[in-house]
């Protein structure tokens, strides 16, 4: 399995650090966002996929209520009381685990703390949702330690709350749901109003190519929360002018935007146009996948990125260079930024036989334009998070 080496490494490190072997282990994958950008917290639609990289969390019960959690890549340790975890700025990575522990403890008091350690192979800040992989792997490990029932939607919500209350990011549920509901060789279609999840098979002759720009993707310090506020303001505007309930931008059509956007702040109007257009592109993308129209699906990916660049303004020079190059490289069906934006990675839809040539061409173009290359890797749509034997 793709997590076997990580599990072996983190188990050895755990034994050296704590002097005993862990009793539970869990893995949660990262994700790529294939179509549907910033639509999740607008109660819209997203197509995404869990990938064959992620985070392993191993643990054993503590003798008391103390939690000791170690980041395996740097060896740093954070300690907190299982009954009252408090976020801090000294070990910000631990806030994700604290938030999950607090969420589970609020639902069923945890009698004991834990010794825990995590390790993964997702590059931080690459837009592949390393934070959600940490939250979900930690949540599954804590559930296993305390014999708690695993309700996947509940765990996704606990992970989201950890982001909101402990990390300061007002994210949607995309990352957590994809990590939990991923399926091998399938993409995940989520309706973020009803939280209905559907998996759609991908053609077996295509794969995804991830290009990490190394532009650090820091959602807390980025304009992510500002974009969310603009979407909420836009929904409130349409609720007033349409004279019917508008809970979120999911309730607004592009035709209605065309008719009523002129009374809005121009920036807020552009943000709304992106989200409304993305919801329509996801629905069209679902139709393309069911019909086997990969060329049509790829065109929607390119259109999605252009909307991110112009309307939502959450791209960056490096991502734009890569997508522009992908448009003319033979073998690329579609390409766009993946995730929150403001840096991170580009995802391209390609044929596996073209991975080496496409990856080399993209890296060369980025080096010529910016002075540095990108990391390129093929990723596979993979199964979701699980407790490991």
Q: Catalytic residues, which ones?
A: 175
DSSP output for 298-322: HHHHHHHHHHIIIII----HHHHHH
Give the β-pairing of 114-120 and 66-71.
parallel
Integer Cα distance of 349 and 206 in angstroms: 7
Integer Cα distance of 386 and 194 in angstroms: 24
**Residues in contact with 356: Cβ distance below 8 Å, sequence separation at least 6, in sequence order:** none
- For the beta carbon of residue 205, count every other beta carbon within 10 angstroms: 9
Integer Cα distance of 377 and 29 in angstroms: 16
Q: Taking Cα atoms as reference points, which of 169, 164, 129, 154 lies closest to residue 46?
A: 129
> Could you tell me the two tokens for 312?
């939502």
DSSP designation for 217: -
Q: Which residues of 145-163 are buried (b: 16+ CB within 10 A; e: fewer)?
A: bbebeeebeebbbbbbbbb
- Helix, strand, or coil here: 71? strand
- Helix, strand, or coil here: 274? helix
Q: What angle do CA 151, 155, 159 make, to 5 degrees?
A: 175
> Could you tell me the two tokens for 216?
């650090």
Which residues are paired to 378 by β-bridges? 209
How far, in whole angstroms, is CA 358 from its chain's centroid?
24
Integer Cα distance of 371 and 143 in angstroms: 46
């Amino acid at each position: 399995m793709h997590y076997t080496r990580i599990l072996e490494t983190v188990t050895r490190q755990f034994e050296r650090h704590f002097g005993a072997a862990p009793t539970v282990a869990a893995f949660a994958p990262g994700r790529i966002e294939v179509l549907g950008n910033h639509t999740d917290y607008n109660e819209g639609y997203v197509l995404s996929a869990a990938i064959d990289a992620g985070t392993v969390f191993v643990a054993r019960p503590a003798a008391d209520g103390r939690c000791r959690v170690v980041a395996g890549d740097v060896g740093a340790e954070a300690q907190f009381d299982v009954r009252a975890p408090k976020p801090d700025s000294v070990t910000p990575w631990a806030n994700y685990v604290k938030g999950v522990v607090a969420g589970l403890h609020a639902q069923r008091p945890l009698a004991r703390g834990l010794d825990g350690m995590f390790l993964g192979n997702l590059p931080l800040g690459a837009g592949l949702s390393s934070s959600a992989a940490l939250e979900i792997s930690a949540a599954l490990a804590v559930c296993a330690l305390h014999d708690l029932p695993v309700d996947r939607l509940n765990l996704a919500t606990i992970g989201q709350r950890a982001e909101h209350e402990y990390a300061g990011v007002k994210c949607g549920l995309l990352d957590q749901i994809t990590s939990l509901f991923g399926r091998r060789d399938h993409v995940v279609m989520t309706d973020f109003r009803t939280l209905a999840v559907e998996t759609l098979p991908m053609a077996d002759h295509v794969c995804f190519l991830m290009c990490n720009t190394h532009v650090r993707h820091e959602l807390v310090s980025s304009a992510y929360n500002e974009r969310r506020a603009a979407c909420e303001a836009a929904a409130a505007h349409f609720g007033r002018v349409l004279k019917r309930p508008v809970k979120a931008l999911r309730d607004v059509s592009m035709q209605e935007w065309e008719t009523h956007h002129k009374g809005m702040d121009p920036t807020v109007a552009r943000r709304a146009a992106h989200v409304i257009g993305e919801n329509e592109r996801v629905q069209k993308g679902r139709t393309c996948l069911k019909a086997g129209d990969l060329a049509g699906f790829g065109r929607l990916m390119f259109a999605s990125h252009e909307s991110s660049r112009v309307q939502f303004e959450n791209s960056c020079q490096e991502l734009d260079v890569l997508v522009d190059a992908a448009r003319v490289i033979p073998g690329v069906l579609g390409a766009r930024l993946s995730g929150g934006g403001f840096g991170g990675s580009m995802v391209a839809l390609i044929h596996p036989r073209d991975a080496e040539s496409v990856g080399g061409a993209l890296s060369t173009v980025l080096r010529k334009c910016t002075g540095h290359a990108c990391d390129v890797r093929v990723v596979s749509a993979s199964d979701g998070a699980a407790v490991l034997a």
